[in-house]
Amino acid sequence: MHNRRGMITGAILAMGLLAGAPALAEDYTVGYSQFWGTNPFLVTMANGAKKAAAEWAEKGVNVDIIFTNGGDTDTTRQVADLEDLYAQGIEGLILFPGDSIVVAEPVKNIYNPEGIPVVITDIGLQSGTWDTFIITDNYAGGQAGADLMAANVPAGAKVITFDHAPGNDNAQNRQRGFEDRAKELGLDVQEEKFLKLSLEEGRRLMEDTLVAIPDIKGVFFFNQVVAQGAMAALEAAGRDDVKLVSFDLDPVSFELVKEGRILGLVVQDPFLMGYEGVNAMVTRLQGGTPVERMDIPTRILTQENAAEFADDPQVTGGQ
């Protein structure tokens, strides 16, 4: 279906050019498959994509984006979403994968054989091919988190990572960055603990960790929701000596850092990811060659510099 449509469109354009007629208006339908699309991080990413689409519309290029949610934290639902988007005849796929292995299957088995352009924002795939990969420098972000932790816990303190995403390339790079740097700085890195991605799981595992490792002094997280649950457990136990550092920002975590209840956050730029994702896709659909990889740096949010982040779209929900 896609190849036939592309051939027909190409033939019409060619005839118009041969006849000296003006080029037809450009209209594209693009799917944006997001995992956990209700999360503030993904809402901000979607807003960035919408901003880029609006700017293209001003240039006469209409981009209709079909967003899918991915069933919040259900990876299998995202696979079904990708199949549905293909059935709807999208001309390009922008993808925020929930799992680097599972979600790769429909990409390499459905989209790649049909030659449908693929742009990935933030989380990589372990197989398949794509045109552009826009990603946070997660390893460096993990290192920055360790720097912040080491500056705020005693020398040689025990620290640990709570891992909710063993199949997620980004999360594992964050962990490696944190643990490698923490060891370099002389911290006593404990064996990671696994949990499901939820506030309640963060609370439960923090409670268990306080019993298993009573002298723990720091915890590193891949997601702010888990950190919020852990913070609640620490406060209930009266343990203000345990410092928490997490990736990602939302209005709740922003206030918790301002109040000194979470030590700091490694902040990404999802708005820019969504914005550049659409730009890369339109460039590809128009026959251009978008940048193959774009690495976006992180910033560290602490109580001291919180005012600098007050207008961040992940805090305000704005554009």
What burial class does residue 137 get, using C-beta atoms within 10 Å of its C-beta: 0-12 exposed, 13-18 middle, 19+ buried? middle
Q: Please say which residue of 267, 283, 312 terminates a domain.
A: 267
**Residue 37: pLDDT over 70:** yes
Here the CATH number for the domain that contains residue 257 is 3.40.50.2300
The number of residues in the chain equals 319
> Is 1 a member of any domain?
no
pLDDT tens digits along 196-221? 989 999 999 999 999 999 999 999 99
Q: Is 170 in the same domain as 22?
A: no
How far, in Å, CA of 119 to CA of 299, rounded? 24
pLDDT tens digits along 268-289? 999 999 999 999 999 999 999 9
> Is 204 a member of any domain?
yes
**Residue 65: pLDDT over 60:** yes
**Average model confidence (pLDDT) for the chain?**
90
Nearest alpha-carbon partner for 248 in 259, 239, 257: 257
pLDDT of residue 75: 81
Segments forming the whole domain that contains residue 261: 138-267
Q: Is 210 in the same domain as 124?
A: no
> Is 310 a member of any domain?
no
Nearest alpha-carbon partner for 53 in 87, 84, 26: 26
Q: Is 28 in the same domain as 128?
A: yes
Do 92 and 117 form a contact (C-beta atoms < 8 A)? yes
pTM of the model: 0.80
pLDDT tens digits along 130-160? 999 999 999 999 999 999 999 999 999 999 9
Nearest alpha-carbon partner for 118 in 275, 272, 292, 295: 292
Strand 299-302 and strand 264-267: the pairing is antiparallel
Task: Give 128-179 as a DSSP string.
Answer: S--SEEEEE-HHHHHHHHHHHHHTTS-TT-EEEEEES-TT-HHHHHHHHHHH
> Is 130 a member of any domain?
yes
How far, in Å, CA of 314 to CA of 292, rounded? 26
In the sheet that holds 132-136, the strands lie side by side as 61-68, 26-34, 92-96, 118-121, 132-136, 293-296
